[in-house]
Amino acid sequence: MKYYVLFGPPGAGKGTQAGAMVARYHLCHLSTGELLRSEIAAGTPLGIQAKALIENGSLVPDQVVEGMIESRISHAQGVEGFLLDGFPRTIAQAQVLDQMLEKRGESVTACVSIMIPDATIHERIAHRAHIEGRADDAREEVVENRIQTYHAKTEPLIQYYRQNGKYEEIDGIGTIEEVQARIFALMDKH
């Protein structure tokens, strides 16, 4: 099984690129952001707990997303691997993922990182706010908090995956097709 970690700052285009990636490599797409938004929409206890945190630009507790990912990895059938989108987002989550996979005799295949500068993050999220109507895109201070959270808690993962030789970065600036071609070129090597 392949275990790709799709990495990048908010607005890098992870969700946009994920569809083509899962289709081409027969992967199960696990987006923690999407899973959490559907828990919120369904009004589950987990959703109620996550809503306030997400809408203020903070992360939900590690254990919450770890549980969501572990149960889906163990139940998936008929796929050649997983595209983990938005997970891990902290070093602690990355360590738990490594342990989870080790128990299955597996490991992360590659961390595919889509990189864009902070100025582009703001532009993309402002644009998306009009289209998707996500509560965490609407307010500038929330977007700012997500970017700060990314730099403080998520960016250290670059070093984590570099150290174990799994880190692969592509430039997220360009058309959707251009970025997709860069991602495919890289995934074809793994």
Nearest to 149 by CA among 66, 98, 86, 100: 86
Question: Does residue number 21 form part of the binding site for ligand ADP (CB under 6 A)?
Answer: no
Question: Does residue number 166 form part of the binding site for ligand ADP (CB under 6 A)?
Answer: no
DSSP codes, 124-148:
HHHHHHHHH--HHHH-HHHHHHHHH
Question: Does residue number 109 form part of the binding site for ligand ADP (CB under 6 A)?
Answer: no
Partnered with residue 115 across adjacent β-strands are 171
Q: Which is nearer to ligand ADP, 11 or 172 (CB)?
A: 11
C-alpha–C-alpha distance, residues 171 and 184, integer Å? 13
C-alpha–C-alpha distance, residues 138 and 135, integer Å? 6
| Candidates 8-16, 18-26, 168-176, 177-185; binding stretch for ligand ADP (CB under 6 A) | 8-16
Cβ of residue 55: shortest distance to ligand ADP, in angstroms?
8
Active site residue 24: no
| Candidates 17-25, 59-67, 71-79, 156-164; binding stretch for ligand ADP (CB under 6 A) | 59-67
C-alpha–C-alpha distance, residues 155 and 169, integer Å? 13
Residue 50, SS3 per DSSP: helix
Binding mask 31-50 for ligand ADP (x = CB under 6 A): -xx--x--------------
Cβ of residue 3: shortest distance to ligand ADP, in angstroms?
15
Distances, alpha carbon 38 to alpha carbons 42, 73, 130, in Å: 6, 18, 20
Q: Which residues carry out catalysis? A: 14, 89, 128, 134, 146
Instruction: Give residues in contact with ligand ADP (CB under 6 A).
Output: 10-11, 14, 32-33, 36, 53-54, 58-60, 65, 86-87, 89, 93, 136, 146
